[in-house]
Amino acid sequence: MTEQTGMPPEKPRASALRMALLLILPVIVLAGVIVLFVQTGGGLTLRPPAPVEDLTVLGTRLERGHIAIDVRNSGPETLTVSQIVINDAVWPFEIEPSPMIPRLGRATIHLDYGWSQGEAYAIRIFTSNAIAFDAVIPVAFVTPKPRAATFLNFTLIGLYVGVIPIFLGLFWFPALRQLGRRWFTFLMAVTAGLLVFLGIDTFTEALEKAASAPSPFQGVGIVGIGAVATFLLLDAIGQRQTQTGRGDEDRRMQVALLIAVGIGLHNLGEGLAIGAAYGVGEIALGAFLVVGFIIQNITEGLGIIAPVLRDRPSVGRLALMGAIGGGPAILGAWIGGFIPSLTLAVLFFAIGTGAIFEVVYEIAKLIQRDTAKEPMPIVIFSGVLVGMLMLWVTGLLIK
């Protein structure tokens, strides 16, 4: 064994000790270097010519006659909040826990300010170094509190944009299973197209959110980690299931389930975005918009059933998949509406991205299996394109 790996033939115990020491040695040296550097500054005389400060506005909360602003210090050093200007008026404020906010620390600024319903407010936060940071309230209204009524409202939002459309899509099952083999392949390609579109959309959303999340949390890094980890995890689960040696029917069922998971994660992100936007008044969920979401997401239900059209899944199974695909929209709306966090949103969108692209990969493998004997490139091309176009066209209704 030792000879095979090229290790010197020593006694195992002595070798383990030596190994441990060798492993620790660089750490000890590193510790020494850090101590030396912290004590002497390493001879570096570079000082920033101007103070470097960064303050991220996490959100604003409005009550009658009162505005609360949550901020996080995302700069390298402690900063001090000195004055607040709201709509061109210097305004008295309170700040808790302290006007001095340590790196990555949070604080809440309170203003007793008689704001008016529906108007816009621009708030400037001045630090002691005369650096200004802006918080914007595009439309002022009382921030919804987690009361039963708002809870119900967010549940309804999730139900409308996630659960109902997907179940509506499932109702195509009886009709579609009458179709021929080529049509099955076509529908699988459509599903792949839908998912590619959703994947790109989710990925862009993740990057967009990452750009405005507090910089020390490295939003783009979170996108990478979340997406890659989810992709590889689902892939590992998939391969493990395949290794247990089940038939093609099980395999297709499993892909359908994966599609449901992928779409579910996408809808979690969608619910999150809607909930958060609703919470800050950036969206008016009118009937037209809800109808738009229903029309767009009905195609997602179609995607879930595509792989199992030739099989006989039980109604319970189908319902379960519908719930997995649509239900997370409700959860997302709750989270987005009540505890909006950009960093959390980035993570959810990243997970959604990884999941969706993994499912596309699974579908591609299925299609490849099905078309091994009878290649039909035009069917696949047109299917993928139709899938993408379907979402683009229905997207016109809600963008």
Partner 1 sequence: MSANNSLSRRNFVRASLLSVVGAAGAAATGEAAGSGRAPALQAGDGHEGMPGPVGEVDHTRNGFNPTDILTDFNWGDRISVLENGQTLREYDVFAGDKTIEVMPGIEFAAWTYNGRVPGPTFRAEEGDRVRIHFINGSSHPHTMHFHGIHTYEMDGVPGAGPGLIEPGESFTYEFDAEPFGLHLYHCHAFPLARHVAKGLYGAFIIDPPGGRPPVDREYIMVMNGIDVDYDDVNDFYAVNTIPFHFALHPIQFHVGETVRVYLVNILEFDLINSFHLHANFFQYYPTGTSLTPIEYTDTIIQGQAQRGILEFKYKYPGLYMFHAHVTEFAELGWTGHFEVLP
Which amino acid type is present at position 290? V
99 binds partner 1 (CB under 8 A): yes
Q: Which of 103, 124, 317, 365 binds partner 1 (CB under 8 A)?
A: 124
Q: Which of 82, 117, 212, 368 binds partner 1 (CB under 8 A)?
A: 82
92 binds partner 1 (CB under 8 A): yes
Residue span binding partner 1 (CB under 8 A) among the ranges 91-99, 158-166, 310-318, 359-367: 91-99
Q: Which of 103, 105, 106, 126 binds partner 1 (CB under 8 A)?
A: 126
Q: Which of 22, 27, 38, 130 binds partner 1 (CB under 8 A)?
A: 130
Q: How far is the CB of 85 from partner 1 (least distance, A)?
A: 7
Q: Which of 127, 94, 122 is nearest to 108 (CA)?
A: 94
**In terms of CB distance, is 93 or 197 closer to partner 1?**
93
- Strand, coil or helix: 365: helix
How far lies 106's CA from each of 53, 96, 271, in Å? Answer: 14, 9, 26
Report the alpha-carbon distance of residue 103 to residue 383 in Å, rounded.
51
136 binds partner 1 (CB under 8 A): no
Binding mask 44-73 for partner 1 (x = CB under 8 A): ---------------------x--------
Let me know: does 319 contact 327? Beta carbons within 8 Å: no
Q: How far is the CB of 91 from partner 1 (least distance, A)?
A: 6
Report the alpha-carbon distance of residue 47 to residue 34 in Å, rounded.
19
Q: Which of 132, 142, 179, 291 binds partner 1 (CB under 8 A)?
A: 132
H-type alpha helices, 44-180:
148-158, 164-170, 173-176
For 338-357, b/e burial (b = at least 16 CB within 10 A) is bebbbbbbbbbbbbbbbbbb
H-type alpha helices, 246-341:
248-279, 287-305, 315-326, 328-338
Report the alpha-carbon distance of residue 306 to residue 387 in Å, rounded.
12
**In terms of CB distance, is 90 or 385 closer to partner 1?**
90
88 binds partner 1 (CB under 8 A): yes
Q: Which of 121, 71, 54, 116 is nearest to 91 (CA)?
A: 121
112 binds partner 1 (CB under 8 A): yes
128 binds partner 1 (CB under 8 A): yes
Q: Which of 129, 204, 212, 242 binds partner 1 (CB under 8 A)?
A: 129
Q: How far is the CB of 122 from partner 1 (least distance, A)?
A: 12
Report the alpha-carbon distance of residue 41 to residue 75 in Å, rounded.
20
**In terms of CB distance, is 10 or 63 closer to partner 1?**
63
81 binds partner 1 (CB under 8 A): yes
Report the alpha-carbon distance of residue 359 to residue 192 in Å, rounded.
8
User: Residue 53 contacts by C-beta under 8 Å, 6 or more apart in sequence?
Assistant: 73, 75, 77, 79, 127, 129, 131
Q: How far is the CB of 168 from partner 1 (least distance, A)?
A: 51
Interface of this chain with partner 1, residues 142 to 201, rule: CB under 8 A = none
Binding mask 4-23 for partner 1 (x = CB under 8 A): --------------------
Q: What is the contact surface with partner 1 in residues (CB under 8 A)?
A: 65, 80-85, 88-95, 99, 112-114, 124, 126-132
